[in-house]
Amino acid sequence: MPTLLVKNIHTLATMDDDRQEIRHAALFVRDNVIEQVGATADLPDTADEVLDLRDRYVVLPGLVNTHHHFYQTLTRVVPAAQNCDLFNWLQSLYPIWANLTPEAIYISAQMAAVELIRSGCTTASDHLYIFPNGSTLDDEIRGVQEVGLRFHASRGSMSVGESQGGLPPDSVVEREADILKDSQRLIEQYHDNDRHAMLRITLAPCSPFTVSQDLMRESAAMARSYPGIRLHTHLAENKSDVEYSLATFGMTPGDYAESVGWVGSDVWHAHCVQLDDRAIQQFGRTGTGVAHCPCSNMRLASGLAPIRKMLNHKVPVGLGVDGSASNDTSNMINEARTAFLMARVRELDAAAMTAREALEIGTRGGAKVLGRDDIGYLAPGMSADFIAINLDRPEFAGALHDPIAAMIFCQVNTVDYSFINGRKVVDQGRVTTIELETLVEKHNRLAYQLMG
């Protein structure tokens, strides 16, 4: 099994249980797993591959993205949807998304995965809930596997169209029996519940205004009949979402989630901007997770999620860049920085979130939300997922008193090195697994085609 030594790290933020930060540090990796973490002087001095960081780089665990819609990279900045709130934004985009093809799903997944990797993400969950023209989740999985991102693929779904009181046009919804059948197929074909798994499946009916309560209950029952299958959906994203829930189900979003069995440590909900205090307490008690997507929430004017309150109530919180068409980027470091700034504005308190807390929800928090005990921090026995950033960048000039906090306080957009499962996927700022220029060209061609 090949070994890798990363040595002379300026500062290694392990994010481990003691939040150790080690100066002049090193990591020793065997195959895809971290074997030793410590001072360079205390670790082996050779390996099959040695990366000497010359005391000029910080190293951190890779960031974990807990909510996204990769296909939306094709519909960024669509003029008709630039200044809309959630429901109008969706209604402007559904007819365009109805033109998606298997190739569009495949190429957009690669584009989003590359963008995430370049910005420090090493594990992502994606929520694909629209399958027009023969598209399947397999198209996305194939794309992401080729890029080398650790992946939690969510089998999303929409079953309640406009004629049944839902938001999407009838042409883009599926029959519930077909959704459940395909969900089972995907679990049995792809889900890997082993430690260090590169691919897991999640069941993810899209939102209260696109699926029935029956589908929510049946999806939960199916997920819970397999080991390690988690549940994910959108909840309490904005005021209209809450009003829909009250008008249609006679329940708040929190009560709705509980009524369909969607609370518990195997569930995480995206957004929760408008979640009430009672539901926050319940999420904390039950270990129900939240994917916090501050850029999207501000972009769509959904509001500022009460993240400080959630953290105080021990709600598991991870970060999500959300779909590329409501952000409109897939930059994980930027999302952590935005979460840090947003929490301070929401609470009007400059101590509402520290830089290290922002990094913590982006790493350990995301791992917990995705149910992983093998990623999120760097320690012996953990997956070899880590990033390195050069301190000689102009962004860090004058900030080296605390280079770890500088990751958040200063605007850093890309990483210099990234390793996922022990494999070097970014080398001196370049993605190693795919030819980026060709990908961008194909992606732009498909984006034009999609607009018709």
Q: Where does this chain bind Zn ion (CB under 5 A)? A: 322
Cβ(139)–Cβ(130) below 8 Å: no
Q: In whole angstroms, how close is the CB of 70 to Zn ion at the nearest point? A: 11
Q: Which of 274, 333, 338, 334 is nearest to 309 (CA)?
A: 274
Q: In whole angstroms, how close is the CB of 125 to Zn ion at the nearest point? A: 11
Closer CB to Zn ion, 322 or 360, in the complex: 322
Q: In whole angstroms, how close is the CB of 412 to Zn ion at the nearest point? A: 25
Q: In whole angstroms, how close is the CB of 206 to Zn ion at the nearest point? A: 8
Q: In whole angstroms, how close is the CB of 296 to Zn ion at the nearest point? A: 7
Closer CB to Zn ion, 139 or 322, in the complex: 322
- As a whole number of angstroms, the distance between CA 233 and CA 235 comes to 6
CA-only gyration radius of the chain, Å:
21
Cβ(273)–Cβ(301) below 8 Å: no
Cβ(355)–Cβ(326) below 8 Å: no
Cβ(108)–Cβ(71) below 8 Å: yes
3-class SS letters over 334-360: HHHHHHHHHHHHHHCCCCCCCHHHHHH
3-class SS letters over 204-232: EECCCCCCCHHHHHHHHHHHHCCCCCEEE
**Chain mean position to CA 43:** 33
Q: In whole angstroms, how close is the CB of 60 to Zn ion at the nearest point? A: 26
Q: In whole angstroms, how close is the CB of 58 to Zn ion at the nearest point? A: 31
Closer CB to Zn ion, 7 or 69, in the complex: 69
Burial per residue of 160-196, b for 16 or more beta-carbon CB atoms within 10 angstroms, e otherwise? bbeeeebbbeeebbbebeebbebbeebbeebbeeeeb
Q: In whole angstroms, how close is the CB of 250 to Zn ion at the nearest point? A: 25
Q: Report the relative pairing of strands 57-61 and 386-390 from DSSP bridges.
A: antiparallel
DSSP assignment of 88-123 equals HHHHHHHHHHTT--HHHHHHHHHHHHHHHHHTTEEE
Closer CB to Zn ion, 87 or 226, in the complex: 87
Closer CB to Zn ion, 140 or 322, in the complex: 322
Task: Please enumerate in sequence order all residues whose Cβ is within 8 A of that of 117, keeping only pairs 6 or more positions apart, or say none.
Answer: 147, 148, 149, 418, 420, 425, 426, 431
Tokens 């009003």: give the residue.
243
Closer CB to Zn ion, 72 or 418, in the complex: 72
Cβ(428)–Cβ(417) below 8 Å: yes
Closer CB to Zn ion, 26 or 300, in the complex: 300
Closer CB to Zn ion, 218 or 322, in the complex: 322
Query: What residues are paired with 318 via a beta bridge?
Result: 291
Q: In whole angstroms, how close is the CB of 128 to Zn ion at the nearest point? A: 11
Closer CB to Zn ion, 100 or 415, in the complex: 100
Helix/strand/coil for 197: coil
Q: In whole angstroms, how close is the CB of 300 to Zn ion at the nearest point? A: 10
Q: Please give the DSSP secondary-structure letter assigned to residue 129.
A: -
Closer CB to Zn ion, 241 or 322, in the complex: 322
